[in-house]
Amino acid sequence: MAETPVFRTTRRVEFGDTDTAGIVHFSNFFRYMESAECEFLRSRGLSVKLTWEGQAIGFPRVSATCDYVSPARFEDLLDVAVSIERIGSKSVTYGFEFTLDGKVVARGKVTSVCCRVEADNRIEGIEIPASYRARLAAPQAAKP
């Protein structure tokens, strides 16, 4: 994980998240990462889609990866650590680490690009506004 402050949250595995082997289907970790990212941003008064300084912006994903280390099962309570691995001029890369009882279950990364969202929903990549960037990168205590 990166050297930036880490935001922590939890995620309970639901029955519908599991496959016929009784473990979390790999695709659900991408939903878990998105949910944790949104919680992280919300804790800073931000979002992946909002009006910022009079301009509609969004952060569509351009890359997402996940490596799986050990299985998670129905009713497991996963600890999720979110960190910022990189903030570029137009993009941000988040790192995620999922643990269960201190043991790593999975690690992932998601990169999103800042875009202006036009009235007709066309998007255009723009630099991350300085005030958004400052709030994004600000040190903050982890969620209790």
Instruction: Dump pLDDT digits (tens) for 95-125.
Output: 999 999 999 999 999 999 999 999 999 999 9
Residue 139: inside a domain, yes or no?
no
Question: Quick check: is 125 in a domain?
Answer: yes
Residue 1 lies in a domain: no
Domain with 11, as residue range(s), is: 7-133
The 10s digit of each residue's pLDDT in 34-79 is 999 999 999 999 999 999 999 999 999 999 999 999 999 999 999 9
> Does a structural domain hold residue 33?
yes
Q: How many separate domains does the chain show?
A: 1
Tokens matching residue 38: 């949104």
Residue 100 lies in a domain: yes
DSSP 47: -
- Alpha carbon of residue 78 to chain centroid: 15
CB neighbours of residue 41 within 10 Å: 21
Say yes or no to pLDDT of 143 above 80.
no
Tell which wins on pLDDT, 1 or 52.
52
* pTM exceeding the 0.85 threshold for the entire prediction: yes
Q: Which of 55, 39, 32 is nearest to 108 (CA)?
A: 32
- The answer to whether position 143 is within a domain reads no
State residue 139's pLDDT score: 78
Confidence band (pLDDT; 50, 70, 90) for 25? very high
